[in-house]
Chain A
Amino acid sequence: MKRSPAAITGMGCICGAGDTLGDCIDALFQGSRNPSPPSRFTSSHGVSYPVFEAPETAIRPELKDIEHISLTGKLAITAAYEALANAGLESHEVKGKKIGVCIGTTVGSVMNDIAFYAEFCNGGAPGLEAINRFLRSNPAALLAKEFGLTGPCQTVVNACSSSTDAIGIAASWVQSGRCDMVIAGGTDELSRVTYNGFISLMITDETPCKPFDRDRKGLNLGEGSAMLILESEQSWGCRKKNPRAIVLGYGSSSDAHHLTAPHPNGDGLRRAISEALNISGASPDSIAFVNAHGTGTPDNDRVESKVFSELLPGIPFVSTKGFTGHTLGAAGAIEAAFTVACLERSMIPGSAGFTNPDPDLPATPVSIPTAVKGSMAISQSLAFGGCNSVLIFGNGRE
């Protein structure tokens, strides 16, 4: 029996833009960003590519010295506690409850400890701590165990759209009645592996990224986590906790085109946006704004701009990756949290890194904080492999 759409009653975030969601939003509206060379690993590339590191000092103190949980896991737990507190929930209130967990990640699912592998290659016997940490750090299972939750559990590994998909899937669990509450989000840490990977694809920028800008060269990587508490009307009604937003719709479609390049006409993105609008019962002109994927790569930004100009003409959009970097599996959730926060204040920040419009792009983002009108907003992600995922959020007040 289909129930009313899932509501968002709490959010938490830790990433390069700030220690908490509130700090991140302040940074966005102040226009301040802190890209820097990676501090936790070195590489032999001739130049250093800027990254957006999460503030390790903001990780929960009891986690700091724990060796068997990865940084990805620690970021997830930190954001989850913030989200639960924001939803007015203490951890003892959720323990033992049939609450679901649905988390997106990329790095968090892979055993790619370089030191371990190197020693193995040399015929050595590397200590098994890295294996132990990998086996115990699956993000969804980790959060289920941290909070003692007995609902469905899923780690989504859909590359760059992982946590947009995780939120969409979690919303369906609530709406179908599978469970009344889900911790949904994403998490990923920076690593020399992904750093080398994206550089090898020649889609990274040696300077701070410039999404949608004429001079954009590519993305910067980032790390972090965001968690959203999705809840049924019955549950938040009982708790007398008003929602911050509603998940009105989720659309997802594949380009079926190429492993790393988006479809040049944005076919998959069009279908995903149309599906999300259809499910939400929304028309394009009822959308207040879009939080774009906006990585700063020539291809991605060109495709998104083209689709915006054709499907959502005149609707303001922003890329927040200029503030956070591309956080891969965490991106969808971090941007969903930003989208809800912006919808609440009816304002979007300027797109950091955007200065000069590209004459080849038919649509350009806002460059300064901008008031927006409307009760619905889109947050979208385009992933390697051609997955396009779109969420539509509605104002919690209505």
Chain B
Amino acid sequence: MNIKESLKKILIEELNLEDLTPEEIEDDAPLFGEGLGLDSLDAVELVVLLEKHFGVMVKNLDEGRAAFQSINTLVSFIEERVVQS
């Protein structure tokens, strides 16, 4: 399973997005506010999930803001940091 597929699966399971399948999560759709409708509590949960499942740390939410725009931006964020480590 690649990072994108894995990420979608984790979001659905860990954030309890029960009615969604991975295929229904558009890669470029906004994750927060519109689109998936995640909020500030999901954002900090996502920070934990990134560290737990990908070993990637987000130091603060300013750093996270750009990365958390969409699935694609999240995947790039993870890939960059995984390469670095």
User: Which A residues contact B (CB, under 8 angstroms)?
Assistant: 200-202, 258-261
Question: Given A200-B48, A202-B47, are A260 and B41 neighbors across the interface (CB < 8 Å)?
Answer: yes
Q: Report A-chain residues with C-beta under 8 Å of the C-beta of B39.
A: 258
Smallest CB separation, B14 vs chain A (Å): 13
B29 is an interface residue with CB less than 8 A from chain A = no
In the complex, which residue of chain A has the Cβ closest to the Cβ of B64? A202
Most buried by B among A200, A202, A258: A202
B66 interfacial by beta-carbon distance below 8 Å: no
Q: Is B44 a contact partner of A259 (Cβ separation < 8 A)?
A: no
Q: Is the CB of B41 within 8 A of A258?
A: yes
Q: Using CB atoms, name the residue of chain B closest to A299.
A: B40
Interface size class of B (residues with CB under 8 A): under 10
Contacts A202-B47, A202-B60, A259-B41 known; 12 new A-B pairs at CB < 8 A: A200-B44, A200-B48, A201-B44, A202-B44, A202-B61, A258-B39, A258-B40, A258-B41, A260-B40, A260-B41, A261-B40, A261-B41
A-B contact pairs, 12 of them (CB 8 A): A200-B44, A200-B48, A201-B44, A202-B44, A202-B47, A202-B60, A258-B39, A258-B40, A259-B41, A260-B41, A261-B40, A261-B41
Chain A residues contacting B40 (CB-CB under 8 Å) are: 258, 260-261
Give complex CA distance A258, B47 in Å.
19
- In the complex, what residues of B have CB within 8 A of residue A261's CB? 40-41
Chain A minimum-CB-distance residue to B57: A46
Smallest CB gap from A261: residue in B: B40
A202 to B51, CA, bound (A): 14
Smallest CB separation, B36 vs chain A (Å): 17
Nearest-CB residue, chain B, relative to A218? B60
Chain A minimum-CB-distance residue to B47: A202
CA distance A346 to B6 in the complex (A): 61
Task: Please report the C-alpha to C-alpha distance between residue A261 and residue B41 in the assembled complex, in whole angstroms.
Answer: 8
Closest to B61 in A: A202
- In B28-44, the 8 Å CB interface with A consists of 39-41, 44
C-alpha spacing A261/B42, complex, angstroms: 12
Give the distance in Å from the alpha carbon of A260 to the alpha carbon of B42 in the complex: 11
B60's nearest neighbour on chain A, judged by CB, is A202
**Shortest distance in angstroms between A174's beta carbon and chain B's nearest beta carbon?**
39
Cα A202 to Cα B46 with chains together (Å): 12
- Report chain A residues within 8 Å CB of B41: 258-261
CB distance from A360 to the nearest CB of B (A): 14
CB nearest neighbor in B for A203: B44
Closest Cβ–Cβ distance, residue B85 to chain A (whole Å): 14
Q: Nearest Cβ distance between residue B62 and chain A, in whole angstroms?
A: 10
Residues of A within 8 A of B48 (CB): 200
Residue interface bits B8-27, CB-to-A below 8 A is 1, else 0: 00000000000000000000
**Measured between alpha carbons, how far is A202 from B47 in the docked complex, in Å?**
9
Chain B residues closer than 8 Å to A259, beta-carbon distance: 41
Report, nearest first, the 4 A-B pairs whose CB atoms are least far apart: A202-B44, A261-B40, A201-B44, A260-B41
Distance in angstroms from A335 CB to nearest chain B CB is: 26
Closest-CB distance, A257 to chain B (whole angstroms): 11
Most chain A Cβ neighbours within 10 Å, of B39, B40, B48, B60: B40
B84 to chain A, nearest CB (A): 17
Interface residues of B in 42-70 (CB under 8 A from A): 44, 47-48, 60-61
Q: Give bound CA distance, A251 to B40, whole Å.
A: 28
Closest A residue to B40 using CB positions: A261
Q: How far is the CA of A258 from the CA of B44 in the complex (A)?
A: 14
The distance in angstroms between the C-alpha atoms of A202 and B64, with both chains bound, is 12
CB distance from A383 to the nearest CB of B (A): 15
